[in-house]
Structure 1
Amino acid sequence: MVAAMVSCSAAIARLDVRISVSSVASAWARRAAWSGYTRALQLQSAEIDEIDVFSWGCGLQIPGRPLRSTTVDLFDRFDAWAAGLADRDPLAWRDALPTAIGEPPVAAEHPALIRALDRVRQHARIEGTALPWLGLPFALRDIGLTATPLPCLAGGAKAFRLKRKPDVGDWLATVRAVEAAARDGLERLHDLERFHRDAQRAIVAQFRPGALPRLLALAVHQPLLSPQAVAHHLGLSVAGASKLLERAVTAELLVEITQRRSWRLFLPHDLAVEFGYAASKRGRPAKEPPALPASRALVDTFDTFDREMAEIDKLLSGIVQVPLASD
């Protein structure tokens, strides 16, 4: 148990440090919120996969996936949670918790990670919704393990709600699950940063990039794309958006996950592999190309790309879900 706590705390610390210096932290946080919310729903015994939450977040329905329920709104708490994650007031979420949640004097004898998880346990015993599981990122922040709430760390254990006193096995399983979430979050951050670098190389390699930089900036923040979605966000025709997406596929930045002439859908390669829509490459991982040589022209190009990413981020920040494709 001690070894598991040390390993988990180290994994959380590595993710927290990397996020603080990453140029794609905002885009990562959006994806991590969908991942964390998936875990909270699964702890509520909802039969839903992560790809379904991603598709909801991007406003698209993936063919062959179960249709979303029209009688029960699984995402009714997402907006308030997302607002809490973005709130700079560190006391906002804590002040909304039931007053019965607190730390007894003996809590000071326990590690910070266990104290954060115990706050989730107390909340889960009081409230039967997904809010306790969504509160773990805030508990980790409040206890000093992270500088900001990391949404991918939402979670807990059903035993926290079902058992008055969870046993050591329950605590150990929970600690290992949090560590796995932190490791996955860091791996996805690396994948997203690599996509950002590959996008820069693809833009430089194009003789006339046109709207390709804006498409790739959109793909960073909204990974599941369709021609209709791209046309809506970038002000293009559907035919023009389709051709633009095909250019990104040719550059090996996006993967088409549907084989159909209409309502086509695309994902970045790393997510397509993770969600089972593309096969992972066998053998030794390919060596990343060397960094591009420094020049004023490249600096201007990269600055323009980063500004477009910031504009897309602002655009999507005010949009929770837009019905871009027919269910």
Structure 2
Amino acid sequence: MVTAIAEATAAISCLDARFCVSPVAKAWTRRAMWSGYAKALQLQQAEIDEIDVFSWGCGLKVPGRALRATHLDVYEDFAPWEAALADSDPLAWRDALPLAIGEPAEAADHPPLVRALDSVRQHARAVGSIVPWLALPFALRDRKLTASPLPCLASGVKAFRLKKTPQDDDWLAALRALGNSALAGLDRLHALERFYRDAQRAIAAQFRPGALPALLALSHQRPVLSPQAVADQLDLSVAGASKLLERAKEAGLLAEITQRRTWRLFLTPDLAAEFGYVQPKVGRPTKEPPALPGDRKLAAAFDAFDEEMAAIDALLESHSERAAR
């Protein structure tokens, strides 16, 4: 148990430290919200995979996946959770907590990680929705284990909801699940940062990048793409968006996950391999190309790409605000 606590705490600390200085923190947060929400739904015994939540978040339907149920909305808690994660008030999320949740006198004898999980356990016993699992990132932040809520750390075990007194094995499973979520989030952050650098190299290699920087900026925030979605977001024709997606595919920055001429869908390579749409590479990881030599022309191109990233982020946030209203 002590080893599991130490390993989970270390993994969370590594993720938090890397997140605080990452150039793709906002894009990673959006993906981490979908990942954490999928985990919370699975803890409520919903038959759903991460790709289903990712495709829902991107507003696209992936062929071959089960249709969404029409008699209930499994995503009704996502918008309030997203708003709470973006709230600058660190105590605002506590307003929705049941009054029965508290810490006994002996809680001070336990590590902060165990106390955070125990607050989730109490919450899960009091509320039968996915909200308790979504509250864990806030509990970790309040106990100084992270600087800000990290959405991918929405976690727990079903025993917290079903058992009045969880056994040691249940606590061990919860600690290991949380540590694995932190390590998976760190791996995805590394992959997204490499995708960011690969995008910069691809832009620098293009004689006329055109709308490619805008597409690559969009793919950081919306990893599941279609020609129609790209056309709508970037104000292009569908034919132009298709050609742009083909350019990104040829550069190895997108993978096509449908084998057809119409209604094509594309996914970023890291997620395409993780979700089983392309064969993952075996053996040693490929060595990353060296950094490009710095000069004014490249610096201007990279600054323009960062501006595209910021513009896409602002555009998607405005869309989310309008949808919430």
Task: Kindly provide the CA deviation profile for residues 241-275 of structure 1, in whole angstroms up to 9, marking residues without a partner as x.
Answer: 00000000000000000011111000111100000
Whether 1:201 and 2:201 are equivalent positions in the alignment is yes
In the other structure, the counterpart of 1:250 is 250
1:151-162 to 2 correspondences below 5 Å: 151-162=151-162
Alignment check: 8 A CA contact 1:58 1:322 kept: no
Distance in 1 separating the partners of 2:69 and 2:300: 47
Alignment check: 8 A CA contact 1:228 1:238 kept: yes
In the other structure, the counterpart of 1:119 is 119
Secondary structure at 1:289 match in 2 = coil
In the other structure, the counterpart of 1:95 is 95
Gaps (5+ residues) in structure 2? none
In the other structure, the counterpart of 1:289 is 289
The farther-off stretch of 246-255 and 89-98 is 89-98
In the other structure, the counterpart of 1:225 is 225
Distance in 1 separating the partners of 2:312 and 2:46: 32
Alignment check: 8 A CA contact 1:57 1:321 kept: no
The Cα of 1:319 is off from its aligned counterpart by 3.0
The Cα of 1:20 is off from its aligned counterpart by 0.3
In the other structure, the counterpart of 1:42 is 42
Amino acid across the alignment from 1:91: L
Distance in 1 separating the partners of 2:220 and 2:104: 44
Secondary structure at 1:242 match in 2 = helix
In the other structure, the counterpart of 1:141 is 141
Amino acid across the alignment from 2:247: R
The Cα of 1:276 is off from its aligned counterpart by 0.4
In the other structure, the counterpart of 1:166 is 166
Distance in 1 separating the partners of 2:281 and 2:22: 26
Alignment check: 8 A CA contact 1:257 1:277 kept: yes
Distance in 1 separating the partners of 2:97 and 2:274: 35
Q: 1:148 to 1:177 in 2, by over 3 A?
A: same
Amino acid across the alignment from 2:13: A
In the other structure, the counterpart of 1:28 is 28
Q: 1:92 to 1:321 in 2, by over 3 A?
A: closer
Secondary structure at 1:319 match in 2 = helix
The Cα of 1:280 is off from its aligned counterpart by 1.1
Whether 1:55 and 2:55 are equivalent positions in the alignment is yes
Alignment check: 8 A CA contact 1:56 1:321 kept: no
Secondary structure at 1:139 match in 2 = helix
The Cα of 1:95 is off from its aligned counterpart by 2.5
Task: Kindly provide the CA deviation profile for residues 58-92 of structure 1, in whole angstroms up to 9, marking residues without a partner as x.
Answer: 00000111111111100000000000001110000
Distance in 1 separating the partners of 2:285 and 2:204: 24
The Cα of 1:320 is off from its aligned counterpart by 4.3
- The structure, 1 or 2, with the larger RCO (C-alpha pairs under 8 Å, 6+ apart) is 1
Distance in 2 separating the partners of 1:35 and 1:87: 20
Task: Kindly provide the CA deviation profile for residues 30-51 of structure 1, in whole angstroms up to 9, marking residues without a partner as x.
Answer: 0000000000000111000000
Task: Kindly provide the CA deviation profile for residues 303-324 of structure 1, in whole angstroms up to 9, marking residues without a partner as x.
Answer: 110010001011112334999x
In the other structure, the counterpart of 2:186 is 186
Instruction: Flag as ranges the 4+ runs of structure 1 deviating above 4 A.
Output: 320-323
Normalising by structure 1, what TM-score?
A: 0.97
Secondary structure at 2:12 match in 1 = helix
The Cα of 1:239 is off from its aligned counterpart by 0.2
Whether 1:77 and 2:77 are equivalent positions in the alignment is yes
Amino acid across the alignment from 2:302: F
In the other structure, the counterpart of 2:241 is 241
In the other structure, the counterpart of 2:213 is 213
